[in-house]
Structure 1
């Protein structure tokens, strides 16, 4: 099942490359027929989508490599690096847009062929909206930070395009061409914000952030419901690395329990945890009952029934 998930993520990442190039072509065509700096800014953001699509594809392929001697916990975090790079590219695109828009403020111009240009840009926005929804849904389901970050950025691009279309329609109807560069600057500010969100979310993953609260609740329940025969568990620690969730805790057993009996309990717990937290890599330290007196802090409130 994991292999199938990997293939799904990799296949989507691959098709993001030609699709992003096609959308970029449409947006540049819209700018070419109108001369609008706001449409140019929208197109510049799409150049980031193309670069991000290439980065995401190659990083996702690298991240799914099995553990090796130098990377014994796997290569999952490579996806976070991809997402950080995408965030940096977004910020660079925003700065380029601001530079272009400030120049246009001094000499605003009326758009050529506005209806045709806006129609082309609207078509590109619809394609992006559908594709972004697919990436976010699949990336979230399969725990792919690179795919999810790409989808969220493209969705922010859709919002940007919608704002540009609305603003330029207003500029055409009111006859105020200065609205074009002003709108481009507003677009750039929004892109800067989106870029910061992508970077901050990815950095938290690189810093070994714990699993989500709802996942932790499911994990605690799985331990409590499947630890029969033990005396309880404590010292729970978790961290998320892309599709993998690394889970460590101590399991207290009667001092007279055999190794084989304790092993069976651990097998049962690992199976239950894997069902509760997809991608779980579980490490359980078994300790005898006498160790409970050492004052270790209990981290799991539910005890085995």
Structure 2
């Protein structure tokens, strides 16, 4: 997260400086988007610190959803940035195009390379840690990749249009800004939808549920699976199962079965933090 934060500060300064000096609308818009990234990254970092706190009296299930709230803030910032970029890019279409410079193109290309590397790095870490805040940061970097691609293409087309006297290509810069806004807006909405799903305790995907069911069926003492629910709670998963076992078992035997079930599920799915098991009685003549 610190790497992302420092990179965003550096790229924001470069893009805004070059964009203002050389009058590149798309580079200025991209720089403002990167400025939003600084806030988004700081929010994601703060939410990750909070989510790592152990359960307490007021939050017995832990603080995992703090990451989800952080991801929601990032999604909101992306949407606001997209609207801002699109608005100013459309306004630029109704004014004479400015002169394009290769320095502006170089700044856009540098941003593209750095952001692509950051996206791959943070996405790999988010998959390893199952961190929603880290994944939100990765998506934020991906939005910047889209923005930098469009900015590079728009500035390049404008430069070519000037050299070949093709007037319509001179509007490549603001047109690229409109494309960037649409891509970033879509990314922001998708992230917001995922955040709402977690906050509303949406179930895990059918494939993951079925995989957990398969591991439960492998426990010989489990005679019937009455109900299985599983949901994300930030960077970890909570599982709730109602299982039927032989009704003549002792409390100690039931306790040992529950412990075996928890170990089996958590070994197969390290992201599962807690397995709540309720045992129902089962008899041979049922």
Is the 1:29–1:117 contact (alpha carbons within 8 Å) kept by the matching residues of 2?
no
Aligned partners of 1:162, 1:292: CA distance in 2, in Å? 68
What residue in structure 2 maps to residue 239 of structure 1?
231
> Would you say 1:133 and 2:103 are equivalent positions?
no
Structure 2 distance, partners of 1:205, 1:291, is: 40
1:85 shift after superposition: 1.0
Match of 2:277 in 1: 284
Bigger mean CA offset, 36-45 vs 211-220? 211-220
- The one of 132, 145, 161 equivalent to 2:132 is 145
User: TM-score with structure 2 length normalisation?
Assistant: 0.91
Provide the C-alpha distance between the structure 2 equivalents of 1:55 and 1:236, rounded to a whole number of angstroms: 34
Q: Distance in 2 between matches of 1:111 and 1:96?
A: 22
1:150-299 equivalent positions in 2, closer than 5 A: 150-175=137-162, 176=167, 177-225=170-218, 227-280=219-272, 281-289=274-282
Question: Taking structure 1 as the reference length, what is the TM-score of the superposition?
Answer: 0.86
1:30 positional shift: 2.8
Q: Contact between 1:255 and 1:289, CA under 8 Å: does it hold in 2?
A: yes
Matched position secondary structure for 2:93: helix
Note if 1:14 corresponds to 2:2.
yes
Structure 1 residues 291 and 202: CA distance shift in structure 2, 3 A: farther
Q: Which consecutive aligned stretches of 4+ in structure 1 deviate over 3 angstroms post-superposition?
A: 290-293
Gaps of 5+ in 1: 1-12, 294-305
Please list the CA deviations of residues 156-195 of structure 1 after superposition, one character each: whole Å capped at 9, or x if unmatched.
Answer: 2102211221122111112233332222122212221111
Mark the CA change 1:117 to 1:292 in structure 2 (over 3 Å): closer, same or farther: farther
Question: Relative to structure 2, which stretch is displaced further, 167-176 or 99-108?
Answer: 99-108
| Alignment check: 8 A CA contact 1:252 1:292 kept | no
* Residue pair 1:26, 1:121 contacting (<8 A) in 2 also: no
C-alpha distance after superposition, 1:86-108 (max 9, x if no partner) = 11111111222233223322323
Name the SS of the counterpart of 2:278 in structure 1: strand
CA–CA distance in structure 2, aligned partners of residues 233 and 179 of structure 1? 60
Residues 104 and 230 of structure 1, relative CA distance in 2, 3 Å threshold: closer
Unaligned segments of structure 2, at least 5 residues: none
CA positional deviation for 1:292:
9.8
Among 57, 70, 74, the residue aligned to 2:58: 70
* RMSD of Structure 2 on Structure 1 (CA): 1.8
Count of equivalent residues: 279
1:108 paired with 2:96, answer yes
